[in-house]
Amino acid sequence: MLKPGGYLCAATNGSQHMEDLYDLMNGFGLHAAPMHSFTSRYGLENAPGILAACFEHVKIIPFIDGLFVTETKALMDYIQSMVGISNFTDSVITEIERTVEMEIQAKGGFAIRKVSGVVLAW
C-alpha cells in the first residue's frame, strides 16, 4: 500500500516481448505461456488505463532492447528451461537446433526483441 503522496514504480513487459522466440517455438508445436497472456492483464499497453482509476498521473518509460544469441546451445538451454512445455521430443529439439543454427550461420546470430519498461504513477 502506498502512503498518500507516494509514487508507484513498476516494471512490466509489452505484448511483443520476446515474440521472435515464441514464434520460433510455435512453429514447431511448442507452446509456452505466451507473454501477451500476462501483459493482457497488466502490461505496457494497458497499465495507464488500469492505474488511471487510482492515480492522477501515469507515465510509461519504455525500454526497447534485444538479444542477439550467437550460440545455439545457449538458446536451446533457455527454451528447454521454460515452464509449461512438456512436449519436447528429440525430433523437435533437433529441428529447432537446425533452424537456429542456420539463422546464426546466415545472420551471425538469432535476434530476439525485448519490449519492457517502467510504469510510474503518482
- Name the pLDDT band for 85 (thresholds 50, 70, 90): confident
> How confident is residue 4, by pLDDT bands cut at 50, 70 and 90?
confident
Average pLDDT for 29-43: 76
Q: How far apart are CA 66 and CA 50, in angstroms?
A: 27
The Cα 87–Cα 29 span in angstroms is 8
Over the chain, what is the mean pLDDT?
A: 91
What is the pLDDT confidence band of residue 47, given thresholds at 50, 70 and 90?
Answer: very high
**Confidence check: pLDDT of 81 > 90:** no
The secondary structure of residue 42, as a DSSP letter, is S
Whether pLDDT at 48 is above 80 = yes
Count of C-beta atoms within a 10 Å radius of residue 47:
23
Residue 42, number of CB atoms within 10 A of its CB: 15
Report CA dihedral (44, 117, 83, 80) to the nearest 10 degrees.
130
CB 102 within 8 A of CB 54: no
pLDDT > 70 in the chain, percent: 94
Mean pLDDT across 40-61: 94
The predicted model gives 32-55 an average pLDDT of 84
1-15 mean pLDDT: 92
Does residue 102 have a pLDDT over 80? yes
Number of C-alpha atoms within 13 angstroms, CB side, residue 62?
13
